[in-house]
Structure 1
Amino acid sequence: MMKRKAEKQQAAAPVSAFAARKARLQQTQTVVAPEKPTNTESTTEPASKRPRRSLEEALPQSISEDHARRLTKRGTLKADKVSQKTFDNEPRDIRRKKPEETVVDDGGNQTSSDEQSEEEDMEENGDDVINAEAEDGYESPVDTTLTMEFPLSKIRLNKSNIVYNDEHTLCVRIREKMSIVLIGHYDLWVKRGVVSLMGAKLHPSPRTYRVYAPSTHSLPVIKCVSGVDGAAEVEFKSCRSGISRLRDLSPFYQRVWNSANTPADRLSLKTVEPTTKRTFSVLHTSADDPLKRHLRPLHLEKQWSAAIKTLSQRSGRLQVLVCGPKASGKSTFGRYLLNHLLSPAPQTESNYHNTDGVAFLDLDPGQPEFSPMGQVYLAHLRSPVFGPPFTHPSLDNDRDGNIVRAHHIGATSPKEDPDHYVLAATNLMEHYRSLLATYPQCPLIINYPGWIFGLGLEVATYLVRSLSLSDVVYMSEKGPMEVVEPLSQAAGTARTPLTILPSQPTEFVSRSSAQLRSMQMQSYFHMSQPKETNHPMWLERPVFKNRPFHVRYAGPHQGIHGIMVLGAQISPDLLAECLEGAIVGVVAVESPYALPLPPSSSSSDPQNETNPPTTNNNNPERPSDTDTDTDMSNNQPAPPTIPTLKAHTTPTKESLPYLSPTSKTGTSTPLHPDSSQTLGLALIRSINPTTQTISLSTPISSSRLAHSLSQGHALVLVRGLLDNPNWAVSEEYYAARAGERRVRREITTRNTENEDRDEEEAEAEGERKKRVLASLKERVSRARNVPFMTVIEDHGRRRQDEAKRERRALWKLRKKAGPDSESEVGY
């Protein structure tokens, strides 16, 4: 009896992330019976497993219901069944059984009453399912999740540590070595003392920092480093950026931000209305979350902290390449190092201030930090960044930073064209050296993708030997040796120190890689940067409802001078169909040497065979730097870009300027990075052959496009292998459903308030309600009848039960770190 009581008390207490992981491993060993004899433990990390294709296959067969009930009663296992999400690569019979995560709350938050109203909508209208993107790098949602109570904040709000508060603001006193965790988005102002946040040391100043803490990632921890009288004072203020309104356009943005008020919020909001909500909530443990999501704090390994401290001491001389297997924490490490470099370290606060910023060279086109997928770029940061990538999908702010140069890869993996990838990386490195002329103390962080095996390893070792780096960081202590040994040899040849750190992956996540890419792409097309503010804003209107840009692709006032399709050759007759509804890169061609020109007749002259000109492997006719200098000395300027580009295009039946493939393989050769750069992405809405115009939706400013044209650059649209914009097709449908739910809630509220009205007023109000609901249902009906989208209806009770379980679904992440794994396939 005493033993049973002690076990209950231990199960009720909060546990740390490391203790919970250990408990899960022990539970797996004791509960799940092994099907195969155990083999000798490998020195390499295990390869990935195939995604589970059904819920029946995912259930552990060896766990009986009685045994699981006993474990739940003792507090060792608390499990909720979950269901799968919908993917294109799954069987069709499974896709028809997936629920839709619908939008619920009008105020940006989701409560238990909202969930009930959503279920009522499902009973009346049926459950609608829209096919989503294929998964990438994640298994299917796990069948059970351990709902343990994780400690988040080390302080509990009370009268002694709340300095002041109102309906929008909360000022908290944090004692040294204590921490606080919030979920949502807010502006942070340090009034007294020094606090640490995601690697940055924030000192008292008039400046505020915008922090995004969604449930899709581990929550940032705000810790007091030093204070006045042993404490620091920090003010949190609600912000209206509009990013929470994206929940009305995509189910991926639902259940992301803070929901109903937590116990700590109710304590600090006693003096205001009970319905008041801030854009952030204070959490003491994960059990305080009203939605019961899988929330975890963002902590670093001690070896990571030591490595960041060592690297930051190099200050302006730092040029580090961060590489490692997939899902090993490369992006997190790079973000922490970036923030640490942009704020003075404690031991150098008296004599060092970073005024030159930090250069960030992102070579991961699958999961970029400051741009949408399919691009590699060089960014110059001048302010710390607090938030996941979909909260800063582009960078164009004089205070925070800007993109120096970018190149369109056209795919989420560099393996599609390794030669072009290496040329782009080399060109970006050259522009970093040019940046050093203006900012001599600007360090460099290079983020290399998880493409670290096979050909990707050859590219990584080439970059280590040729870029003159100061450090190389490899994010996995488990090897494998097939990767570590070549990296060590390349680092030794370049006399560059190699640091090997343990990986720190997140075991459970609520979004897959493909879903995070869709969220980032959707955020990119909805974000704007007003000149009067220092922070971005997001618009909740569907992309196809915004006014497009109409650009001429032929005629005297031509704006688009060429169209290129990467990958396999496309027939000119199918080019228009290939472009409509696709995402393309808008590339500015600075010189005709960027084009893959055919061999000139002069090159066949026998007199030139003895001393052939130096050429580039990507463009046979593009001269090297030596040849360019020779041409300049002979007063032979380069030909104009736009006329040269027109001479190499083939008009289609719609008069589209098609840059058809010229290579013998039938594939298009990308534009050379030395003579071209990417301005951004655009979504092609339609092509009008009559007016010879293309309708584009793009966040690229018209001033930037005009500036590029004024410099004589030619604009080329590049169609790559990026994911289809399914999110854009379904935006109007989700927006219509959200509007219908809002009106229904308003009608329900008015019915309660107008019970005392007479019969005539009630009858008139009822007729008006019917007309409003009829118009809303018609809008929903029109929104679902669009091309490229299938809405599957199911009115059964089973759909409602699966929708409940779907809200708590998690993705179990398995790191792929073996030579035979699929790490080269996706990011």
Structure 2
Amino acid sequence: MTTRLSAFAALNNSDSDSDSEGEGEGNVVDNVTFENTAITPLNNSNFSLREGVNVQYHHDYILLALQSDDILVIKGRYSISVIQGSVLIDGYTLVQGKSLKINASSINSLPSIQSNSSIPIENDSIFSSTNTYTSIIKLENIDNHFDEISNLYSHVKYLYNSEISNSLQNTSSSSYTFTIIIEPELNKSSTLLHQQWLNIFQSIFNESSMSINHQSILTIGNKNTGKSTFSKLLINTLLSISNKKIQLLDIDPGQPELCLPGCISLTHITSPLIGTILPWENNTTTSTLTKFIGFSSPNHQPLKYLKQLDHLIDTILLSSNNTITIINSPGWVKGFGTEIISHLKSKLSITYLIQLSHTNKDLDILQSIEWDYETKIFKALSFSSLSSNFNLYSPAVIRNFKLLSYMHYNHENKNYNFKPLLSNSPLKVSYTTSKDYSSLINYPGILGFTIFDHPFSYTEGLHESLECQYVAIVTIPSTSLTTKFSSNILKHENCPNYINETIFHSLSPHIKFHGLALIHSIDTKNNTINMYTPIDFTNIRDNLLNNNEKLFILKGREDTPIEEIYPVQILKDSASYWSSFGLDALPYVSASLSNEVMGGKISTIRRNIQRR
């Protein structure tokens, strides 16, 4: 218990000096008082770097000494490890001998790092200084080429760069994949824990530690009120001080944290959520159950969205004791948003309800839903009310950023390659056009596809609707394939089998989502689909050959970034650019675009695929 209390003591100390009395009388909720306090947003480190005094520069890492009141703000990609003492990073306590990999970009507020101890380091053999330091950390390069995404997608030009000159003030010739923010970063602040939020975290911890039953925490609020930030900080804090199992139910397909756009998920979490989260980077300690929705908004197919949500809820209901489920809800507090929250409440017992708003007034959703007597309700100010953080990027840009990052990640070498996908040969996967059940049950390739929210009888444009589009790669157990599939297949000339989407929704509990692929083209002569995907097909292929699973393609309405199909490099210097890949001419694609087919924009495809 001493360790947990000391962790909270450090959290309480993190911004208490900055709190000042704001307007309003404050409000009392369940005997916990929250004042309308305000803090001065911190958008840069609050101390100077002095080589040999508190910083040492090395080839690909630096050593840094922190005093008890130092707050460090870093932008970039780096690994942080604690040499002596301990540090607090976005609510998570990192102790001596442990390390974390962090991606701190302009997509999210920048992580803040501060010493988690007030006890001076004894026998400091690293820094010979008269200053009193409480922690020494190591910041190490992560050179996975992720910063090169701006070469492909110029909308994120300032993902790591800044219009203001920030420097590590390094006198050596070494370069780093991170920058310590010395001058304030425009429109960007760090994620300092506000005392109001911290009081809620402490109240939840104190009460939850006295029960072994499963508990659920639901955060509600309008868009851009900080629901995701609140959830991540709460998770990080609980990971540091609680022995509970933590899982996150992420149900906003437009801006999910731990799954791809167009999906919802339930994730068991064992490591903190800091900075810009890239869930496709291998994390062996995190398991995720993902459901493909196919839309960025739940209201496109509301009933089918709720059905997919129910499958995740069913998994939650099977959770063991000593588990806390944190629910990150969509930013809707009216209309279908109310229906989603009401649906959640009818299926799950909500232990804690947190309302985030710009004022302490109740949202309509608090009054329109009859909450259980046992549900404890907290009301807190939104993140935007507590900081000057301004998101430079629209939701559409963030979705494209995530899709492009996912498609260009190499799981084998754990690096990114943001050269246009068109510079590589696509993966070739065979498909069948047979409707015969006995043939389908033994076929080791793609059995068919469907387009969500598409008239089953409408066949025009099906072929074109797949090309240059994102699709979900899914499998179902072979035992789930019944003769109903044969009667729900619509054959179409020069096209794989088109299957009524109702079949897939009826089998949704059994559908396994493997990831996304970008269809390059369909070879109707050889019955193959050419696609780009970071998915490792090894296990899928083995299960297909062993007849354990059946392979399908699902298409929603996720837009394809035009940069992926028609990259800006083509326009700049086509001849010299493509010759660098050993190509004599522009491959695969012309500039023609059309909106006339089902499923969104397409590009006209050339059939000159080069095999290398």
Aligned to 1:402: 287
Q: Which amino acid in the other structure matches residue 137 of structure 2? A: V
Give yes or no for the alignment of 1:319 onto 2:211.
no
Give yes or no for the alignment of 1:700 onto 2:535.
yes
Equivalent in 121, 127, 146 of residue 243 of structure 1: 146
Give yes or no for the alignment of 1:658 onto 2:498.
yes
Equivalent in 38, 53, 69 of residue 177 of structure 1: 69
Q: Counterparts in 2 of 1:78-89, with a 5 A limit?
A: none
Residues 12-40 of structure 1: CA deviation (Å, up to 9, x unaligned): xxxxxx99xx9xxxxxxxxxxxxxxxxxx
Aligned to 1:277: 175
Q: Which amino acid in the other structure matches residue 473 of structure 2? A: V
Higher helix share: 1
Aligned to 1:363: 251
Q: Which amino acid in the other structure matches residue 526 of structure 1? A: H
* Alpha-carbon spacing, 1:772–1:560, altered in 2? closer, same or farther (3 Å): closer
Equivalent in 259, 267, 270 of residue 382 of structure 1: 270
Q: Which amino acid in the other structure matches residue 497 of structure 1? A: K
Q: Counterparts in 2 of 1:230-379, with a 5 A limit?
A: 231-258=134-161, 265-266=168-169, 269-270=170-171, 272-273=172-173, 276-286=174-184, 293-313=186-206, 314=208, 317-344=214-241, 353=243, 356=245, 358-379=246-267
Aligned to 1:712: 548
Aligned equivalents of 1:773 and 1:526: distance in 2? 19
Percent identical residues: 23
Aligned partner of residue 472 in structure 1, secondary structure = strand
Equivalent in 339, 354, 366 of residue 484 of structure 1: 366
Aligned equivalents of 1:193 and 1:735: distance in 2? 52
Equivalent in 422, 431, 450 of residue 544 of structure 1: 422
Aligned to 1:685: 520
Aligned partner of residue 518 in structure 1, secondary structure = helix
Instruction: Say which is worse superposed, 309-318 or 517-526, in terms of deviation.
Output: 309-318
Aligned to 1:500: 379
Q: Is the 8 A contact 1:569 1:661 kept in 2?
A: no
Q: Which amino acid in the other structure matches residue 517 of structure 1? A: R
Q: Which amino acid in the other structure matches residue 223 of structure 2? A: K
Equivalent in 445, 448, 454 of residue 326 of structure 2: 445
Higher strand share: 2
* Alpha-carbon spacing, 1:265–1:507, altered in 2? closer, same or farther (3 Å): closer
Residues 128-185 of structure 1: CA deviation (Å, up to 9, x unaligned): xxxxxxxxxxxxxxxxxxxx99752122112464253213221111111321111111
Aligned to 2:5: none
Aligned partner of residue 499 in structure 1, secondary structure = strand
Q: Is the 8 A contact 1:549 1:697 kept in 2?
A: yes
Aligned partner of residue 319 in structure 1, secondary structure = strand
Aligned to 1:467: 348
TM-score (norm 2): 0.78
Aligned to 1:763: none
Q: CA deviation at 1:396?
A: 4.1
Q: CA deviation at 1:671?
A: 4.4
Q: Which amino acid in the other structure matches residue 196 of structure 2? A: Q
* Alpha-carbon spacing, 1:239–1:528, altered in 2? closer, same or farther (3 Å): same
* Alpha-carbon spacing, 1:260–1:233, altered in 2? closer, same or farther (3 Å): farther
Q: Is the 8 A contact 2:470 2:558 kept in 1?
A: yes
Aligned equivalents of 2:103 and 2:416: distance in 1? 14
Q: Which amino acid in the other structure matches residue 204 of structure 1? A: Q
Q: Counterparts in 2 of 1:143-154, with a 5 A limit?
A: 152-154=44-46
Aligned equivalents of 1:682 and 1:774: distance in 2? 23
TM-score (norm 1): 0.59
Aligned equivalents of 2:488 and 2:43: distance in 1? 63
Aligned partner of residue 558 in structure 2, secondary structure = coil
Instruction: Say which is worse superposed, 647-656 or 679-688, in terms of deviation.
Output: 647-656
Aligned to 1:797: none
Q: Counterparts in 2 of 1:406-805, with a 5 A limit?
A: 406-436=290-320, 440-476=321-357, 477-479=359-361, 481-487=363-369, 489-492=370-373, 495-505=374-384, 508-530=390-412, 536-554=414-432, 557-569=443-455, 571-590=458-477, 641=481, 644-660=484-500, 670-706=505-541, 708-709=543-544, 710=546, 712-731=548-567, 733-734=568-569, 737=572, 782=586, 786-788=590-592
Aligned partner of residue 311 in structure 2, secondary structure = helix
Aligned equivalents of 1:715 and 1:503: distance in 2? 44
Q: CA deviation at 1:711?
A: 6.4
Aligned equivalents of 1:513 and 1:322: distance in 2? 20
Q: CA deviation at 1:482?
A: 2.3
Q: CA deviation at 1:277?
A: 2.1
Q: Which amino acid in the other structure matches residue 475 of structure 1? A: L
Which structure 1 segments of 5+ residues have no match? Answer: 1-17, 23-147, 345-351, 592-638, 663-667, 741-770, 791-827
Q: Is the 8 A contact 2:49 2:55 kept in 1?
A: no
Aligned equivalents of 2:158 and 2:151: distance in 1? 11
Q: CA deviation at 1:429?
A: 2.1
Residues 676-707 of structure 1: CA deviation (Å, up to 9, x unaligned): 23221111111111111111212221134235
- Structure showing greater relative contact order (alpha-carbon pairs closer than 8 Å, 6 or more residues apart): 1
Which structure 2 segments of 5+ residues have no match? Answer: 1-17, 23-39, 121-132, 595-612
* Alpha-carbon spacing, 1:779–1:513, altered in 2? closer, same or farther (3 Å): farther
* Alpha-carbon spacing, 1:483–1:302, altered in 2? closer, same or farther (3 Å): same
The size of the alignment, in residue pairs, is 528
Q: CA deviation at 1:227?
A: 4.9
Q: CA RMSD in A?
A: 3.4
Aligned to 2:6: none
Q: Which amino acid in the other structure matches residue 392 of structure 2? A: S
Aligned equivalents of 2:100 and 2:578: distance in 1? 45
Aligned partner of residue 505 in structure 2, secondary structure = coil
Aligned to 2:129: none
Q: Which amino acid in the other structure matches residue 104 of structure 2? A: A
Aligned equivalents of 1:212 and 1:661: distance in 2? 38
Q: CA deviation at 1:645?
A: 2.6
Aligned equivalents of 2:73 and 2:145: distance in 1? 22
Residues 84-142 of structure 1: CA deviation (Å, up to 9, x unaligned): xxxxxxxxxxxxxxxxxxxxxxxxxxxxxxxxxxxxxxxxxxxxxxxxxxxxxxxxxxx
Q: CA deviation at 1:449?
A: 0.7
Q: Which amino acid in the other structure matches residue 659 of structure 1? A: I
Residues 529-577 of structure 1: CA deviation (Å, up to 9, x unaligned): 33xx8xx421223223333221222166441122111113162242111
Equivalent in 57, 77, 87 of residue 165 of structure 1: 57
Aligned partner of residue 680 in structure 1, secondary structure = strand
Aligned partner of residue 275 in structure 2, secondary structure = coil
Q: Which amino acid in the other structure matches residue 74 of structure 2? A: L
Q: Which amino acid in the other structure matches residue 409 of structure 2? A: M
Structure index of larger Rg = 1
Aligned equivalents of 1:280 and 1:260: distance in 2? 15
Q: CA deviation at 1:466?
A: 1.9
Aligned equivalents of 1:511 and 1:245: distance in 2? 18
Residues 202-252 of structure 1: CA deviation (Å, up to 9, x unaligned): 1112x3211111133322110112054151111111111221121221102
Aligned equivalents of 2:584 and 2:221: distance in 1? 46
Q: CA deviation at 1:443?
A: 2.2
Aligned equivalents of 2:527 and 2:400: distance in 1? 31
Aligned equivalents of 1:353 and 1:660: distance in 2? 46
Aligned equivalents of 2:269 and 2:578: distance in 1? 51
Q: Which amino acid in the other structure matches residue 383 of structure 1? A: S
* Alpha-carbon spacing, 1:238–1:649, altered in 2? closer, same or farther (3 Å): same
Q: CA deviation at 1:521?
A: 0.7
